[in-house]
Structure 1
Amino acid sequence: MKIDIWSDIVCPFCYIGKRHLELALEQFPHRDQVEVVWHSFQLDPSAPAEVTEPSSQMLARKYGMSVEQARANQQALEQQAAGVGLEYHLETTRTGNTFDIHRVIHLAAEQGLGDAAHERFMKAHFTDNEPVNDPEVLVRLATEVGLEESRVREVLAGQEYADAVRADIDQARAYGARGVPFFVLAEAVGVSGAQPVEVFTRVLDQAWATANPLQMVGDAADGEACEGDSCAV
């Protein structure tokens, strides 16, 4: 069964949603038959290549609130992340354009490292507060995942995988996704947002049943069977 996930590296709920799904999969009896495929999404395609403004100030300006209110919201989200073992330092994160990050993730996915790349880049952003959209930082993180440095630099120097990133974003819009994380299980069941673990557990069972319907062999009328109290033995 395939699970398609649309995500942006700088989305705090995407990292939490990733953990929730992983926790649900740990309890899923068919885990070894599940393939997770990551897809690109940009929350702010117009973001500049480099941003030095603290995220609390950016959020206050964007949503018309005080810096104190923005920071209070961040602290609540940090506590939510801690509940699933994630360490967030949101006040000091620096957010820039993520398009090139997604191109590198497509390179990683071709080598079976898509999930590892997401994990490393998200940790770098939310926990270590590294400027993941900085080309040199991105190269270093990608090599830590297992990619060849020369190949990463080659991708960043050109436009490889740009069409793949745009195609991912177009597909998300076609599904009606307005934000991320966004999950599609077995190409039939959609889940929007970082839903609780129990929701993912239930949806995994539902999607598995959809992808693997029970096939009946024979007809009850033709075979010998007991029904209720009508079994004469």
Structure 2
Amino acid sequence: MRVEIWSDVVCPFCYIGKRRFETALANFEHRDDVDVVLRSFELDPDAPTEPTEKVPTALARKYGISTEQALANMAGVDQMAAGEGLVFNQADAPHANTRDAHRLLHLALAEGGQSAQAALNERLLQNYFVDAQNPADHALLRESAIAAGLDPARVDQVLSTDEFDDDVEADVARARAYGATGVPFFVVDQRYGIAGAQPTEAFSRTLEAAWNDRD
């Protein structure tokens, strides 16, 4: 059984939803027969690679609210994350582009498999939400990719070209075709969809239903 997860490495609900899904999967009787593949989705493809502002300022501008209100909203998300054992520091994180991060996640899947992709994704999420680092910084991306087991020469090659750019675009197009307008978005065996950081129980029910509905 395959689970595809559309997400972005600067999406707080993607990190929260990831933890909840992982909890459900760990308690799923057939977990060893489940393949998990990450798919790309850019929340802000126009975000700069050289950040000029932090997330609260960007959110305030996007939603037409004050920076104080943006910070209050983010604090609520931080509290939700804490319930899953995550400690967020997103208020200090820069507003920046994630295209290169997604291209490296495709490299990880292509050359290291699902385990390498998962390891890189976790590291990228930690870089952003825990350490408030720039997700577009090539030195940080390179370090993270190598730590996840990727070949340094291939990492450098991808970062210096537009390799896997089409794969990112294809993932986004598939998400749109499914009707997804945001992330996280989970698709189980191309039949069952879950939108958002749903409670762990919702993931558990969907895994059971999809398993019982296999041909």
Is the TM value for this pair above 0.5? yes
Tell whether 2:123 aligns with 1:146: no
**Residue 174 (str. 1) matches residue 190 (str. 2):** no
Residue 80 of structure 1: aligned partner = 80
Number of residue-to-residue matches in the alignment: 212
Q: CA deviation at 1:67?
A: 1.1
1:198 partnered with 2:196: no
* 1:15 partnered with 2:15: yes
**Equivalents in 2 of 1:5, 1:209: separation in Å?**
20
Larger Rg computed on CA atoms: 1
Match of 1:38 in 2: 38
Letter in 2 for 1:165: V
SS in 1 for 2:213: helix
Contact 2:97/2:135 (CA < 8 Å) preserved in 1? no
Structure with higher helix content: 2
2:128 is aligned, of 106, 121, 125, to 125
Moved more, 3-12 or 43-52: 43-52
* RMSD across aligned positions (CA): 0.9
Give the secondary-structure state (helix, strand or coil) at the position aligned to 1:211: coil
Q: Trace 1:83-232 onto structure 2 (pairs within 5 A).
A: 83-110=83-110, 111-112=112-113, 113-212=116-215
Q: Deviation at 1:56? A: 1.0
Q: Moved runs in structure 1, 4+ residues, more than 3 A?
A: none
CA–CA separation in structure 1 for the residues paired with 2:170 and 2:67: 36
1:55 aligns with 2:55: yes
Give 1:95 shift.
2.3
Instruction: Quote the offset at 1:167 in angstroms.
Output: 0.6
Normalising by structure 1, we get a TM-score of 0.89
Could you tell me how far apart the structure 2 residues matched to 1:125 and 1:53 are? Answer: 14
Aligned counterparts of 1:42 and 1:191: Cα–Cα separation in 2: 18
TM-score (norm 2): 0.96
* Mapped partners of 1:145, 1:86: distance in 2: 20
Q: Cα deviation per residue 1:51-105 (whole Å; 9 max; x = unaligned)? A: 1312111111111111111111111111100110111011101121111111000
Matched residue, 1:225: none
Answer yes or no: is the 8 Å Cα contact 2:93–2:129 preserved in 1: yes
DSSP-derived class of the 1:136 partner: helix
* CA-to-aligned-CA distance 1:12-71 (integer Å, 9 cap, x gap): 000001000000011100000000011000111111112131211111111111111111
